[in-house]
Structure 1
Amino acid sequence: MSPSLAYAYFILCIFSTLFCLTSAASSNCQGCVQLDSYSFEKVVSKFKAAVVKIDVAYPYGDKHEQFGKMSAALSSNPDILVAEVGVKDYGDKENVDVAERYKIVKEDYPVMLLFQQGKTEPIRYQGEFILEHMQRFVSSTSGLWVGLPGCLEVFDGLAKRFMATTSSSDRKEILRQAEDEWDKVSLGSERKSAEVYVKVMRKMIEKGDGFLMSELSRVDALRKGNLAKEKKDEMERRLNILQSFQKTNPTANIEL
């Protein structure tokens, strides 16, 4: 092979690699909107919640794939935007200003920010890039329903109403409604979830709101222990349900 042909082949390989990385990034983030310095504020401000990943221009790897799975899981919710901003710290340095605005440095990538409509400052995600953990963060921070494993929309609504009142009579009425809804559930796995909601309400009426935090801590400790996968998954689902009872206050979230 002549030197010129070898050089041409080398260049072709480089472009092919870049193309594959770009394609992989796109395919691993279905439903993601690609934003830049010009479109960022215009688009983000239109949604009740916007989840934005600040990352390298051509992201790849486990964290990017997990973010992509979350994007696909949230794609059916019209109130939540999932987006990416690719930052180039070379050449024209595209979108560097977005990263600088939120005090994000290259060593931090990827960084996930959650913006809420009407608020100027985002909340920075501090947990691991694991699908359920990110979903839980979005749900508890935004107050929007995202369908976490184990959770049921009707019961999540009842849990939110339960926590919105301190009246004993109101809470007992909401518990009664939850028990009625429990009776309507026929699918085995959903009946187990419905039972957890009802039992949490009963315990909170009996022991007070302190029960919620103690139970969150207990279940969180169990799921981090040496459990079989089936039992660990059960603890994850229970934790998701318990977090449905938390008021929208990200600083109160347990460490994920």
Structure 2
Amino acid sequence: MVENNKIIVGFACIISAFQVIHGDIVKGSVSLNSGVFDKIINRHKVVLVKFDETYPYGDKQDAFKKVASSTISQPDLIIGEVQIADYGDKDNSDLGERFSVKKEELPVYKLFMDGKEKATYSGDVKNADDIKSFLIQQSGLWIGLPACLENFDNLVKDFFKAGKKTAQEKVIAKAEEAIKELTSDSERTSAEIYIKTMKKILEKGKDFVETEIARVEKLKAGKVSDKKKEQLGDRLSILTSFKIRQKDEL
């Protein structure tokens, strides 16, 4: 038994050493370096690049993983990572200098569109939803947050574009017709949140989204069951989608 335990511990140490040497494989992202950077940037419509230290870890890297995995189904988008070394051969330090990325600011997210740098993210690098919001706003691509529906996100965009109450009521009517076509219980639940939120905005005004987000976040942070926490998380995702599209129309 002791011998078996030694073998298990030894094997675990080998795995850990491998991860330290090679770093995590981030699903949905590509590793970029000086040799391939321009090839990737120039051949794809939208590329979000994270410039970071070598072997990143912790909350900031977890956020990056969430962003990368949530964008896999978007064909016009590539998520890339450039790891900049400050020792030895200083790999990719030329890319850091080229894009004015400073070591003390890492990680830095930059968005490239049609081969050109478009914007730099300035928000919380530990918040995956904020990074995705930045990506959605700057690129115009649809990237669904959890529980969000593309058709209803588009209706939200139409809702805020409509401006006048009568026009917004017509968008709500479209949403109420669209929900009839949904067969999934989870999709119907999400759609009902969209419709309810649009109606509340008409009733209480444009500030409803912000105040409701604050209210739901407070509830989610309290003592609630795992199921309730999941439901509140879905509601927050949809409210965030409203917030993103509301900002687009300001």
Answer yes or no: same fold by TM over 0.5: yes
1:144 to 114, 132, 141: 141
| Separation in structure 2 between the aligned mates of residue 111 and residue 243 of structure 1, nearest angstrom | 23
User: Tell me, what secondary structure is at the counterpart of 2:117?
Assistant: coil
Partner of 2:161: 164
2:53 to 49, 53, 56: 56
* Sequence identity percentage: 37
Q: 1:134, CA displacement in angstroms? A: 4.1
Partner of 2:8: none
Structure 2 counterparts to residues 18-97 of structure 1, below 5 A: 19-25=18-24, 27=25, 29-61=26-58, 63-97=60-94
Structure 2 counterparts to residues 80-229 of structure 1, below 5 A: 80-117=77-114, 120-129=117-126, 131-132=128-129, 134-229=131-226
Q: Contact (CA 8 Å) 1:47, 1:80: kept in 2 or not? A: yes
| Separation in structure 1 between the aligned mates of residue 146 and residue 89 of structure 2, nearest angstrom | 43
RMSD: 3.1
| Separation in structure 1 between the aligned mates of residue 215 and residue 27 of structure 2, nearest angstrom | 36
Q: 1:93, CA displacement in angstroms? A: 1.7
1:247 to 240, 245, 248: 245
| Separation in structure 2 between the aligned mates of residue 237 and residue 163 of structure 1, nearest angstrom | 21
Q: How many aligned positions are there?
A: 235
User: Tell me, what secondary structure is at the counterpart of 1:195?
Assistant: helix
Structure 1 residues 143 and 231: alpha-carbon distance in aligned structure 2, compared to 1, 3 A threshold? farther
| Separation in structure 2 between the aligned mates of residue 102 and residue 234 of structure 1, nearest angstrom | 41
* Aligned residue type for 1:21: V
Normalization by structure 2: what TM-score? 0.77
Structure 1 residues 208 and 176: alpha-carbon distance in aligned structure 2, compared to 1, 3 A threshold? same
Structure 1 residues 137 and 238: alpha-carbon distance in aligned structure 2, compared to 1, 3 A threshold? farther
| Consecutive unaligned residues in structure 1, runs of 5 or more | 1-14
1:235 to 214, 228, 232: 232
Structure 1 residues 76 and 126: alpha-carbon distance in aligned structure 2, compared to 1, 3 A threshold? same
Normalization by structure 1: what TM-score? 0.75
Structure 1 residues 181 and 59: alpha-carbon distance in aligned structure 2, compared to 1, 3 A threshold? same
User: Tell me, what secondary structure is at the counterpart of 2:49?
Assistant: strand
Partner of 2:3: none
